[in-house]
């Protein structure tokens, strides 16, 4: 802390003490990335990695916040915390599936250096390494690998990084091949390959060197047999899930039964004692099915079960899925609604995932897919045709990082940023009389004029460029100005996933409200029950769109339907007596 000094307080009119704190000069900013897939004796612990990264930063005078970055688990972006990005339990081959890694790639423009203990902590994929290194170059961020001696701020360091990345990828492939070979050897011997056992089984450990096998868990097997019996009898998956949850049964991971989990379990060959590998029944070298575990149900029952599943579940070829998947929400519970494409199923609906799949407390909402998607499509296309809205879209989605993967020489916007930095560096040299030119001021002026000319040329190019968003499919639509032409592009040029890409670029969420009581008398779709939250609007809590005191309690609809049915029967009986 600085030494206390005295000053005259203008309000109190008396002397007061002021603490003068020396301001620490701001240096180059650094981020640390830590990854650990499995902790073993020869692995690099997170603490070891962090200590070495901090030591490297102190040695070079780089500024780094020692606390861990806070990552949004859904969006995989940094929402707070410090400069350490940590992925524990993730393989280096999983690439963008790592949340902290993805968040770091989004934040690169804020850092001068990214420091890792070893290069393979960042990635083991050769296909990914080239893109990553290009991104580092474009954002002018240097990648530093401590034990590898890599620093991509130099040409030699960049070459070394590329070479080490290739070696790391080869090592990862060798490890994967050895693991797969060992697993297959164990399975041929009828042993369990590791991990949590399937529902209905428990792991029985053998003697050292013998491996483990599976035995039936009587309590879990009891519930499986009940589920199989009910399904063969004709009960629906949701009804069976409800029955299992009411009896206190839970999945392997302790969660309530959901439709997808139970459906997957009923189709699993494990029930008949087979080993499953990569989604198929595992076969030995002779091509025979390996069936070493005690069956929970006999083979005849298992075959009948699979036949019933085939009869009741007809799979349609995928045409791209639901257009609004991932952005439709139920106003009752705030959870997402799962949709089915109307092109794959005529009666397709968006249904509350909590109610219909996870069987939570929510009373649940549903709405026709064709109606909702048709309405949203018209809203989007009409909106894209308006000049004022197009300006908002351009300003909202314009993002220099979207062009970061392009070569800086090909992209005027990125090149402009580089030239500005070079001119600032040149100005700094002049202030410090550090020209590094044989001709002094004369050579300096030449360099200045060349840079200034290039900068002016780049600015002219940028002015002539069409406004671009960070979404390629949205740009395709924005190139058209007429609603009819936009509709043509939407229907004939863009696939369903590409349309979904546009919808998500524009819409943060769609909240579905309950239908009006007289909805059957309406002509057309009730658009009042659809609330759209655009990306440029203030983000609101889903539950704020509907009064909490009007949300029906669980079972209210069922009771109302039963009462209605009973009243109807009562009225019919009364009419017969008359």
- In whole angstroms, what is the distance from residue 554 CA to residue 146 CA? 57
Structural domains of the chain in order of their starting residue, each with its CATH number: 30-175 (3.40.50.1390), 216-312 (3.90.1750.20), 382-486 (no CATH)
**What pTM was computed for the model?**
0.51
Average pLDDT for residues 506-514, to the nearest whole number? Answer: 93
DSSP 120-139: GGT---HHHHHHHHHHHHHT
Q: What letter does residue 539 receive in the DSSP assignment? A: P
Residue 420's pLDDT is 65
Distances (CA, A) of 1 to 4, 5, 20, 243, 553: 9, 12, 8, 66, 59
Residues 6 or more apart whose Cβ sits within 8 Å of residue 411: 403
| Helix 369-384 / helix 387-397 crossing angle, nearest 10 deg | 100
Strands (DSSP E) contained in 295-388 are 328-330, 337-339, 349-352, 366-368
Q: What letter does residue 112 receive in the DSSP assignment? A: S
End-to-end Cα distance, the chain:
97
- In whole angstroms, what is the distance from residue 44 CA to residue 50 CA? 10
Establish how many alpha carbons lie within 13 A of residue 444's alpha carbon, considering only the half-sphere containing its beta carbon: 15
Torsion of CA 183, 185, 188, 191, to 10 degrees: -60
Query: Residue 390 corresponds to which tokens in the numbers above?
Result: 């197009």
The predicted-structure confidence for 381-437, as pLDDT tens digits, reads as follows 988 888 777 777 776 655 433 333 344 445 555 555 665 666 666 666 666 665 555
Who wins on pLDDT, 233 or 394? 233
Contact 237, 262 (CB under 8 A): yes
Q: How confident is the model at residue 24 (pLDDT cuts 50, 70, 90)?
A: very low
Residue 533's pLDDT is 93
pLDDT at 275 over 50: yes
The predicted-structure confidence for 52-108, as pLDDT tens digits, reads as follows 999 999 998 999 999 888 887 777 788 888 899 998 877 765 555 788 888 898 898
Q: What letter does residue 147 receive in the DSSP assignment? A: T
Element (H, E) at 577: helix 556-577
The predicted-structure confidence for 150-166, as pLDDT tens digits, reads as follows 888 776 666 666 665 55
Residue 42's pLDDT is 47
440 torsion bin: left (phi>0), alpha (psi -120 to 50), beta (else): left
Query: Residue 36 corresponds to which tokens in the numbers above?
Result: 């650990």
Average pLDDT for residues 569-574, to the nearest whole number? Answer: 82
From the centroid of its chain, how far is CA 274? Answer: 34
Mean pLDDT is highest, among 118-132, 224-238, 287-301, for 224-238
The predicted-structure confidence for 304-359, as pLDDT tens digits, reads as follows 998 888 877 655 555 667 899 889 999 999 999 988 777 656 678 999 988 888 87
């Amino acid at each position: 802390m600085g030494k206390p000094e005295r000053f005259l307080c203008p309000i109190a009119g008396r002397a007061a003490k002021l603490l003068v704190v020396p301001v620490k000069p701001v240096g180059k900013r650094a981020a640390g990335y830590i990854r650990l897939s499995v902790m073993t004796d020869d692995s690099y612990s997170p603490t070891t990695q962090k200590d070495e990264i901090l030591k490297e930063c102190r040695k070079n005078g780089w500024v780094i916040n020692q606390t861990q970055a806070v990552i949004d688990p859904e969006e995989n972006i940094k929402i707070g915390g410090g400069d350490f990005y940590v992925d524990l339990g993730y393989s280096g081959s999983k690439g963008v599936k790592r949340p902290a890694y993805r968040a770091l790639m989004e934040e690169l423009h804020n850092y001068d250096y990214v420091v890792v203990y070893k290069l393979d902590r960042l990635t083991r994929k050769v296909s990914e390494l080239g893109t990553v290194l290009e991104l580092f170059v474009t954002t002018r961020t240097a990648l530093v690998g401590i034990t590898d001696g890599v620093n991509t701020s130099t040409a030699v360091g960049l070459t070394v990084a590329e070479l080490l990345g290739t070696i790391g990828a080869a090592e990862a492939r060798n490890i994967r091949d050895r693991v797969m070979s060992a697993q297959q050897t164990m399975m041929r011997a009828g042993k369990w390959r590791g991990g949590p056992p399937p529902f209905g089984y428990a792991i029985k450990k053998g003697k050292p060197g013998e491996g483990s096998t599976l035995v039936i868990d009587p309590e879990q097997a009891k519930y499986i047999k009940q589920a199989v019996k009910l399904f063969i009898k004709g009960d629906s998956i949701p009804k069976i899930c409800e029955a299992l949850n009411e009896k206190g049964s839970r999945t392997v991971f302790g969660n309530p039964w959901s439709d997808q989990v139970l459906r997957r379990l009923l189709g699993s060959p494990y029930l008949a004692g087979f080993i499953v590998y990569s989604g198929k029944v595992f076969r030995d070298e002779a091509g025979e099915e390996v069936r070493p575990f005690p069956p929970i149900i006999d083979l005849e029952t298992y075959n009948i079960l699979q036949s019933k599943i085939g009869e009741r579940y007809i799979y349609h070829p995928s045409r791209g899925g639901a257009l609004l998947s991932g952005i439709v929400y139920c106003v009752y519970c705030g959870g997402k609604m799962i949709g089915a494409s109307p092109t794959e199923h005529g009666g397709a609906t968006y249904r509350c995932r909590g109610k219909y799949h996870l069987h939570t407390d929510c009373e649940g909402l549903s709405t026709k897919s064709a109606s909702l998607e048709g309405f949203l499509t018209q809203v989007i296309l009409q909106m894209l045709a308006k000049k004022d809205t197009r300006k908002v879209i351009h300003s909202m989605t314009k993002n220099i990082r979207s062009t970061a993967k392009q070569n800086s020489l090909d992209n005027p916007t990125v090149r402009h940023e580089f030239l500005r930095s070079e001119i600032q560096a040149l100005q700094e040299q002049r202030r410090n009389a550090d020209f590094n030119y044989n001709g002094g001021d004369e050579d300096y002026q030449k360099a200045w004029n060349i840079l200034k000319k290039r900068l002016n040329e780049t600015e002219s190019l940028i002015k002539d460029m069409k406004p671009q968003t960070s979404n390629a499919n949205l740009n395709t639509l924005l190139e058209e100005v007429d609603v009819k032409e936009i509709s043509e592009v939407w229907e004939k040029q863009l696939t369903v996933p590409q349309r979904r890409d546009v919808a998500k670029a524009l819409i943060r969420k769609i909240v579905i409200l309950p239908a009006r009581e007289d909805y059957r008398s309406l002509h057309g779709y009730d658009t009042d029950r659809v609330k759209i939250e655009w990306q440029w609007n203030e983000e609101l809590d889903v539950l704020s769109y509907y009064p909490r005191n009007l949300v029906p309690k669980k079972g209210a609809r069922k009771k109302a339907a039963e009462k209605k049915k009973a009243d109807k029967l009562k009225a019919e009986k009364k009419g017969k007596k008359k």
